[in-house]
Structures are given as structure tokens and as C-alpha cells.
Amino acid sequence: MKLAPYFLSSIFIKLSRIMTAAMLYLFLGIGALHAQSNIPTTAEYVLVTEFETGRILMEKQKQAPMKPASMAKIMTSYVVFSRIKDGSLALDDQIVVSEKAWKMGGSRSFLKPGTRYSIKELLYGVIVQSGNDAAVVLAEGLAGTEENFAIEMNLTAQKLGMKNSNFTNATGWPDTELTTTAEDLNILATALIRDFPPETYPELYPIFKVKSYTLNDIKQGNRNPLLYGKSAAENGVDGLKTGYTDESGYGLTASAEKNGLRVVMVLNGMKSKKERSSESARLMDFILREFKNYKFFASGTKVDEADVWLGRAGKVGLVAEGDVSRVLSRAERMKTEIVVSWMNPVSAPIQKGQKIGELAVRIDGKIVDKIALAADRDVEQLGMFDRLGAAFSYLILGASSVPDSQGE
């Protein structure tokens, strides 16, 4: 015979700031766009993600093969950054410009053949000026030949999980074998920001937001259109790189951080600089306006209390074992509810940190995240005579002698 009955408790918590919207949705049937909404765009390839979780906010042909053009220089930069991070390369190290590098066409830093340039100067040439010559100098200086450097680029891509990319040069110069996807470029940009955080390496990633750089007395501006005007000032855009060839069209890989939300955006296949500028600004504005990172509970926060059976305390707190947060669109927020469940009452003895419940985040009835709830303190079991007394009371008085079950 069970002396202690257990009741499954479930409570639905709607934070005060979203309760009204949720009620309106439930009773008025307000429709909602999903995160990956069908936002019209002229870009052929799109992937926008939230930086911390990788959650997809918008996508279009994310795994379709495409040409990266100069966005391949993000990988060139990643490889160089990695050498600096492991100590095998320093920003003041110098490399001599080869004849091959000097003869490179396309966008250039106008390096002089036979002249030495520092790694720092060459990185600014690659990232800010999009210099093909600077990229080749770095490739030859680090790997002997650009072909050898491409091998290192591909090995790095494999390590990062870029499954559909093949790099053949350090510049993104047209090549039949050169290929990538919006998904892979998003993985790369995310990894570069994650692995070389600005607070740890202030001399590396912040190069991407430099608006102009002068080398050999020639000043050139950064081609990233989001670094100028409203996008930079209001949206916190701080990188990364543009690209263009006849085959790729106009592309941009960008990142921005606003109100604690960082997004990584890859667009490619647009038809003009003007279109790239307007379309990237429009989509970045939309994403940062419509999505927010809602922090429901911090790790260790007491979410609720459970009744205790046969314990020296009548209640025990339920604390979140991790942060409970979710990036949501305005529409999704209207459909969001937090469900807390546990078996009530909880039988003593109870140890602090013991898992006794679960918190689930549901959107439109679908569970999208779960986290364990743990006891916030130890609760000793009653002594034998006290337990017998409690059991006797239950047998005589029934369920009324057991603490009320919550959420019934």
C-alpha cells in the first residue's frame, strides 16, 4: 500500500509582459508568422541565424551551391587569425610581395613587388580593401604557395563542419572547382566571431568594421554597405565581407549585435551594388526589429515550490538548472508559454540539486526547449514516529492530510 499519493502538477506560466498577447491569440485567433517566415527577398541565397544558438531566423536555398567570390577571404582571414592565436605568427611579421601576387587582377591593395609588408598591413588589405594581391601574399607567406594554402583552407572548413565547400584559392577568384553554400559561409562567420572574440583579440575581428584604410598612400573604403549610415549606428553592424564576380552576383556576409542579440547574415546572388546595399539593410533592420532574446529565468532562479511528503519542511523550491531564454519573433512571443511540471508531493529525504521537475518552453503547443528543475535545499526525512503519525493521519483523514497538489 502506498502511504503517499503522488499527483502530477502542471502550471502554465505566462510572463506578465506576454500574457495579454497570448490571451489575445488564444481567444481571438490572431495569426502569426513563423521565425523562418516567407519574407520576400531578391537575394538568391539567404541564411540568417542567431549567433549563440545557431537558430535559423530566415533561409532561402541555404544548401544550394554558389560561388563565394571575395567572401572566401573570410576563410583566408580565419586561417591567419588561427596562426596568430597559436603563436606561430605575429602581426609585425613581414612577408615579401611575389611577382604573382603583384600581377593579381580584380580588387587590389596595390602592393609593390619585392616589398615587405607586415601581417597587420596585409590583413587590413584583405579585409578592408578586399585586396586580392594581399590575400595571395598571405597565402604564399604562410604555406609557400597559394595552392598549399587552399589545402589548409579546406582542412579548416572540414574542422568547422562546412560540408559543402571547396576552396581553390585565397581570394575567391573565379574557378570552376570553387564552391560553397550560404549555410557554410554562415558557419564560417559564426566560428570566426566565436573563436576570436573582440574582447580577447581586439586586434583581429574589429578589423572588419574599419571603414577605410590607407596603404601605399592609397586610401580605400570598406565595401560593406552596412557599416555606413543607420545600419552601423542603430544596428551595431561590425562585419564581415562583401563579394562579387559575374558568376556569383553581389553578396554579403554580415553580423550585427543589438540589445544582446547577435545575428549572422549571409546573402548572395543579387544583381547590383545598389540592390545589395538596400536589400541587406532592409533584412537586417527587419530581423533586429522583429526578433528579441527573451530571458525568462536565469540559472539558479527559483521558479516555483513543491510540497514535501514526510519531510522536516513542508515546501522545497524548484530552481532552474540553466538559463531559460529563447530568441523569438513578436508573433512567436504571442504563442509562447512556459510549463513547469513535477510529481507532487516530493518524498523526503531530498538533497539540494536533486532533479525533481522540468520546465518546458512551448510555442504554439510544440515543445522547443526543456530544462531540469532541482531542489534548492536539503530536506531531511521525518523521524520514524513522525512518519508513522503522518501515515496514520493519511489513512484516517485521506488526501486532506496531504499538502494540496498545485496546478490541479
Domains 7-29+295-401 and 45-270 share a fold: no
Q: List pLDDT tens digits, range 208-259.
A: 999 999 999 999 999 999 999 876 778 999 999 999 999 999 999 999 999 9
**Mean pLDDT over residues 182-201, rounded?**
97
Q: If you average pLDDT over every residue of the chain, what do you get?
A: 87
Q: What is the pTM of this model?
A: 0.81
Residue 9 near residue 341 (C-beta atoms within 8 A): yes
Instruction: Answer with the residue of higher pLDDT: 70 or 30.
Output: 70
Rounded-to-5 percentages of helix, strand, coil across the chain: 35, 30, 35
> Which residues are the active-site residues?
70, 73, 130
Q: Residue 366 CB: number of other CB atoms within 10 A?
A: 8
pLDDT of residue 176: 96
d(CA 37, CA 349): 49
State the sign of the Cα–Cα–Cα–Cα dihedral 289, 274, 45, 169.
negative
Residue 395 banded pLDDT, cuts 50, 70, 90: low
d(CA 102, CA 364): 59
Q: Residue 67 CB: number of other CB atoms within 10 A?
A: 23
Nearest to 248 by CA among 40, 49, 70: 70
**Three-class DSSP category at 208:** helix
Q: Does domain 7-29+295-401 have CATH number 2.60.410.10?
A: yes
Alpha helices by DSSP H, 144-252: 146-160, 182-195, 230-235
**Three-class DSSP category at 98:** coil
Helix or strand holding residue 273 (H, E) = helix 273-290
Report which DSSP code applies to 300. Answer: T
Domain boundaries, the chain: 7-29+295-401, 45-270
Q: Residue 35 CB: number of other CB atoms within 10 A?
A: 20
Q: List pLDDT tens digits, range 328-362.
A: 888 888 889 999 999 888 989 999 999 999 999 99
Q: Does domain 45-270 have CATH number 3.40.710.10?
A: yes
**Three-class DSSP category at 261:** strand
